[in-house]
């Protein structure tokens, strides 16, 4: 789902980058987003700040995908080794072979996608056995609250965090660790292998 103008601005500013760096990325690191030479896929990479954070891992390959060409256009000014950015829908990752990615990283995107279960299925497919999904998502209640104030989201999008956890397990992803704030959780899940 495309962002509204307001959310686009909210996602592309220094405060958002500060929170992503100091809180969200650190939680993923605490849960095992470490090591060098990994093949990393970031879903919903936006304007590419996640790519800069993930470049600290010196990935063998980094691909950032986003549905919005405007976001990918903003990544053109980023020059990182082994990195590429593509306009792509998370529900169709057919450009990626089965079991070709070590880490999939998602900074709060799947609640934007009505077919989020299809995206989970695609993530599971592209991960190598033993590969990890690092994902953070808000509960539908939080999404609905923000929507009432800022009209950011289509209200029918999203899920409860219980539904999301069940969805991961239903799609063959085992939750290894989580950091749980009220209505907002970060997870590390593995594709068993």
Q: Give the footprint of ligand SAM on this chain (CB under 6 A).
A: 1, 3, 11, 16, 20, 43-46, 50, 65-68, 71, 89-91, 107-109, 112-113
Give the C-alpha separation, 135 to 45, whole Å: 13
Give the C-alpha separation, 178 to 91, whole Å: 24
Give the C-alpha separation, 32 to 7, whole Å: 29
| 162 three-class SS | helix
Q: How far is the CB of 19 from ligand SAM (least distance, A)?
A: 9
Residue (38 or 111) nearer to ligand SAM, CB: 111
Reference 82, options 113, 21, 37; nearest CA is: 37
Residue (77 or 129) nearer to ligand SAM, CB: 77
Q: How far is the CB of 88 from ligand SAM (least distance, A)?
A: 6
Q: How far is the CB of 164 from ligand SAM (least distance, A)?
A: 15
Residue (107 or 134) nearer to ligand SAM, CB: 107
Give the C-alpha separation, 45 to 71, whole Å: 8
């Amino acid at each position: 789902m495309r962002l509204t103008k307001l959310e686009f601005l909210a996602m592309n500013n220094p405060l958002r980058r500060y929170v992503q760096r100091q809180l969200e990325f650190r939680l993923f690191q605490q849960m095992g987003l470490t090591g060098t030479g990994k093949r990393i896929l970031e879903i919903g990479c936006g304007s590419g700040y996640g790519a800069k954070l993930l470049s600290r891992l010196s990935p063998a390959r980094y691909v950032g995908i986003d549905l919005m060409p405007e976001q990918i256009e903003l990544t053109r000014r980023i020059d990182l080794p082994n990195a590429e950015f593509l306009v792509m829908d998370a529900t169709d990752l057919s450009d990626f072979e089965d079991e070709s990615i070590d880490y999939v990283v998602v900074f709060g995107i799947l609640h934007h996608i009505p077919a989020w279960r299809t995206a989970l299925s695609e993530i599971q497919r592209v991960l190598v056995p033993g590969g990890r999904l690092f994902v953070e998502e808000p509960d539908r209640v939080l999404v609905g609250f923000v929507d009432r104030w800022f009209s950011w989201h289509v209200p029918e999008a999203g899920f409860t965090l219980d539904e999301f956890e069940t969805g991961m397990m239903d799609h063959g992803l085992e939750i290894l660790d989580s950091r749980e704030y009220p209505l907002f959780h970060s997870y590390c899940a593995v594709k068993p292998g």
